[in-house]
Chains A and B, each alone.
Chain A
């Protein structure tokens, strides 16, 4: 008997209906009140480590203490990305031309993707 009913409940719609219909052997119901999940955040980047400081993107640059909002990543139009503090330091040190340290193309910030 249960077998049959289980087969019916494969479809969520049907289940809802069958739950509404009162029948002698009422099904067990689980009500989730609160689900505390655990997740870790990470940058959507094509590399693990910053090409300048070699520290992981998900960490922070050597000058920072707190990762994430306080030490964001920036992308160049060449699609290379770095810790913002790292690339700014790099660009400030370049007298003549501002180039991406990875591909030597002229460095331009990719608009709209910095935080």
Chain B
């Protein structure tokens, strides 16, 4: 028996190995003998080597034959060959690969099943473990250093099958090549070849088989992932460029999701084809594979969504300035961005990019202040949609606010647009008239109405300053007003604007201003708008007084009628902003009429008199010349005074006229330009002006000088904001001097805080900020009224 056995040992080995590597031999016949041989081998303690031997065989065969043959075949068709052939070759290569590895795989399967059944005590890791080992050997040897050709081919093949798939389910892939080629001749959209040679169907079948082979060899993830990832990334990027860039008025999320589902359909063909395969095979793990398939798809879905969000956010961040500019038309884009931004961690990137976009595109001297304000308003609206916590708004718009603070005309622009008299910027006016105004006072106390349960913490990028989330307002007007830290400055500016308007139109029609003041009262509180109310009341009173006085005049006999129809706007000087003081001697006739008017006023209002502002107001007049008449000219008093003097005397020297009018020559020359422009007066010789009676005699002089006066017309009657501020600060000069006398030297901050402490009760002190004070002190230093060294101010010795 033992002899038989010892003789039978090589035979047993042969039997077993033959059964493992040549499964094509009729196995049922040898089954018994195989198990006998196995038993023999195990008894001799050789059972464990069967496994090692088989794997070794696989490895050797793979390294020496199979793998080189595979690569050679893959390389075989040269680059010039047709795409279709390349796809075929790729498939063929893998087909051969599978075919040549098949014997080993079957052998492994068999050995594995023996081990599983634990037949004759054969040791080993079982079918599953064996398979794992075998496949890792295959992967290691085959793909140890794959030449790039594999990826190229796979990529090309997948791209093609993708476009075939998409075209078959009716989706046009707008890839560049298809668009270019599909123009003239009708190509198949799927395979980009003529209809008669269309290989769409083939391609899909090839895909099926290709995926099948790869999954059989467990190479699917390894070979496909990279190609699929790059295809999807490219497609998403491409699609995004084509569809979304520059297009803010449509939402792309649902569009993208639909598309994603289609893409997943293709992916399921790539990855889940093993499902179909599994069900036909008798492997017990097919339900598991099914799970793997769908979990792979799920992973890809997440991956694509993530990728989409990232790309989308990147693109929108680049475009955010334009999106803001186009708001509210760009609302869909903002909503999409909000959705995606919540899924990617790119807030910081967005903030940095937006800030720098503002700085480069908006905050430079070439942009008009009103445009900056308009963009800021859009930004407020857009960013409060994007980020309800307002942190982005607060942080990103910081530079705008800082910059606006440095512009001189910011307040004027804001006030002008608040009252709706700038074109283009009507947003603020409508914002002002919104039904539920946020009063600026009640901002601090807002505990009521907000449920503590709904509290959310600030995002991490919030500014940690004293204005907590509570104070982070999204109200446009509050935000604009708070640029300057106080509303007084706005109210002062509004007063100035209102005064200007009232003094310019002089028609006593105040309906619009009354409405504005009422609206502003809701915003700023009654007490602040009190001065404006008095101003409006003055207008109404003036109208009444005028009517009264005119009626009285009408009762007089004909020859006592005043020579000039005069009406007045009578101001309560304490309540109006400071008016520009200009000297002007009016012609006697006018001053007489004014005196008469004053007398009547004094009769009407006992113990009160009038102080005329001769340079303010407006005059309507006709000028009759020899061959023409200018009718209903509306000019300022100084223009009227000039032309009246020319009525008395046809020619004036500049200095002579300047003496009579009490106006500086330079100013007078500019004012004369108006009449020159009308062709009424000419400058005969430098400094001498005379009337042009006949239009024909006027040789057209160059228009250069003619237009000098045109910029005068819009001139403000009130002193400018900065002049007023200057005056206010001048008030403090006495305090500052006193402080410096007592304390000798002080720093800027010290002076500022002292002023705040001591002078806080005065009007308009609260809004004085350090910069302004510094500028003021610098001016004093330049005037040698103050000395500064090492940041410390002191008084010069001589003044003490």
**A residues whose Cβ falls under 8 Å from a Cβ of B:** 2-3, 5-6, 9, 15, 25-45, 56, 58-59, 65-69, 73, 75, 113-115
B617 to A40, Cβ gap below 8 A? no
In the complex, which residues of chain A have a beta carbon less than 8 angstroms from the beta carbon of B613?
A: 37-40
Which residues of B in the span 543-597 have a Cβ within 8 Å of any Cβ on A?
Answer: 564-576, 579, 590, 593-594, 597
B566 to A67, Cβ gap below 8 A? no
The CA of A113 and the CA of B608, in the complex, are separated in Å by: 11
User: In the complex, which of the residues A25, A35, A44, A115 contacts B640, with contact meaning CB atoms closer than 8 Å?
Assistant: A35
A-B residue pairs, 7 tightest by C-beta: A38-B616, A59-B574, A40-B573, A39-B610, A29-B624, A36-B506, A40-B571
In the complex, which residues of chain A have a beta carbon less than 8 angstroms from the beta carbon of B601?
A: 41
For A28, A37, A69, the residue with the greatest tally of chain B CB atoms inside 10 Å of its CB is A37
B568 to A30, Cβ gap below 8 A? no
**Does B528 sit within 8 A of A, measured CB to CB?**
no
The CA of A111 and the CA of B219, in the complex, are separated in Å by: 116
For residue A68, which residue of chain B has the nearest CB? B572
User: In the complex, which of the residues A6, A35, A43 contacts B567, with contact meaning CB atoms closer than 8 Å?
Assistant: A35
A30 to B647, Cβ gap below 8 A? yes
A39 to B571, Cβ gap below 8 A? yes
Name the interface size band of chain B: 35 or more
Known: A2-B650, A39-B568. A30 touches B622 (CB 8 A): yes
The CA of A65 and the CA of B527, in the complex, are separated in Å by: 10
A68 to B622, Cβ gap below 8 A? no
For residue B527, which residue of chain A has the nearest CB? A65
User: In the complex, which of the residues B537, B605, B616, B622 contacts A41, with contact meaning CB atoms closer than 8 Å?
Assistant: B605
B605 to A115, Cβ gap below 8 A? yes
> Chain A nearest CB: distance from B508 CB in Å?
10
Known: A37-B566, A38-B571. A66 touches B534 (CB 8 A): yes
The CA of A56 and the CA of B647, in the complex, are separated in Å by: 43
A67 to B572, Cβ gap below 8 A? yes
A32 to B565, Cβ gap below 8 A? yes
In the complex, which residues of chain B have a beta carbon less than 8 angstroms from the beta carbon of A37?
A: 566-569, 594, 597, 612-614, 616-617, 637
B619 to A67, Cβ gap below 8 A? no
**Does B61 sit within 8 A of A, measured CB to CB?**
no
A36 to B619, Cβ gap below 8 A? yes
In the complex, which residues of chain A have a beta carbon less than 8 angstroms from the beta carbon of B575?
A: 59, 67
The CA of A60 and the CA of B607, in the complex, are separated in Å by: 15
In the complex, which residues of chain B have a beta carbon less than 8 angstroms from the beta carbon of A32?
A: 564-565, 619-621, 640, 644
**Does B626 sit within 8 A of A, measured CB to CB?**
yes
> Chain B nearest CB: distance from A40 CB in Å?
4
**Does B649 sit within 8 A of A, measured CB to CB?**
yes
23 A-B residue contacts at CB 8 Å?
A2-B650, A27-B650, A28-B623, A28-B626, A28-B646, A28-B647, A28-B680, A29-B624, A30-B622, A31-B623, A32-B621, A33-B632, A35-B564, A37-B617, A38-B503, A38-B616, A39-B594, A40-B611, A42-B610, A45-B607, A114-B606, A115-B605, A115-B607
The CA of A34 and the CA of B609, in the complex, are separated in Å by: 22
The CA of A73 and the CA of B565, in the complex, are separated in Å by: 31
In the complex, which residues of chain A have a beta carbon less than 8 angstroms from the beta carbon of B564?
A: 32, 35
The CA of A39 and the CA of B608, in the complex, are separated in Å by: 12
B572 to A38, Cβ gap below 8 A? no
In the complex, which residues of chain A have a beta carbon less than 8 angstroms from the beta carbon of B513?
A: none
B621 to A31, Cβ gap below 8 A? yes
For residue B690, which residue of chain A has the nearest CB? A2
In the complex, which residues of chain A have a beta carbon less than 8 angstroms from the beta carbon of B264?
A: none
**Does B108 sit within 8 A of A, measured CB to CB?**
no
Which residues of B in the span 217-276 have a Cβ within 8 Å of any Cβ on A?
Answer: none
The CA of A2 and the CA of B647, in the complex, are separated in Å by: 12
The CA of A58 and the CA of B618, in the complex, are separated in Å by: 25
In the complex, which residues of chain A have a beta carbon less than 8 angstroms from the beta carbon of B533?
A: 65-66
For residue A73, which residue of chain B has the nearest CB? B607
The CA of A35 and the CA of B597, in the complex, are separated in Å by: 12
In the complex, which residues of chain B have a beta carbon less than 8 angstroms from the beta carbon of A67?
A: 534, 572, 574-575
In the complex, which residues of chain A have a beta carbon less than 8 angstroms from the beta carbon of B637?
A: 35, 37
B565 to A33, Cβ gap below 8 A? yes
**Does B651 sit within 8 A of A, measured CB to CB?**
yes
In the complex, which residues of chain A have a beta carbon less than 8 angstroms from the beta carbon of B570?
A: 39-41
**Does B709 sit within 8 A of A, measured CB to CB?**
no
In the complex, which residues of chain A have a beta carbon less than 8 angstroms from the beta carbon of B209?
A: none
For residue B503, which residue of chain A has the nearest CB? A38
> Chain A nearest CB: distance from B789 CB in Å?
40
Known: A9-B649, A34-B620. A65 touches B541 (CB 8 A): no
In the complex, which residues of chain A have a beta carbon less than 8 angstroms from the beta carbon of B626?
A: 25-26, 28
In the complex, which residues of chain A have a beta carbon less than 8 angstroms from the beta carbon of B607?
A: 43-45, 73, 75, 113, 115
Interface flags, B619-638, vs A, CB<8A=1, else 0: 11111111000001000010
The CA of A66 and the CA of B575, in the complex, are separated in Å by: 9
Known: A2-B651, A30-B643, A32-B621. A58 touches B530 (CB 8 A): no
**Does B693 sit within 8 A of A, measured CB to CB?**
yes
**Does B691 sit within 8 A of A, measured CB to CB?**
yes
The CA of A33 and the CA of B624, in the complex, are separated in Å by: 13
**Does B648 sit within 8 A of A, measured CB to CB?**
yes
> Chain B nearest CB: distance from A12 CB in Å?
9
In the complex, which residues of chain B have a beta carbon less than 8 angstroms from the beta carbon of A30?
A: 621-624, 640, 643-644, 647
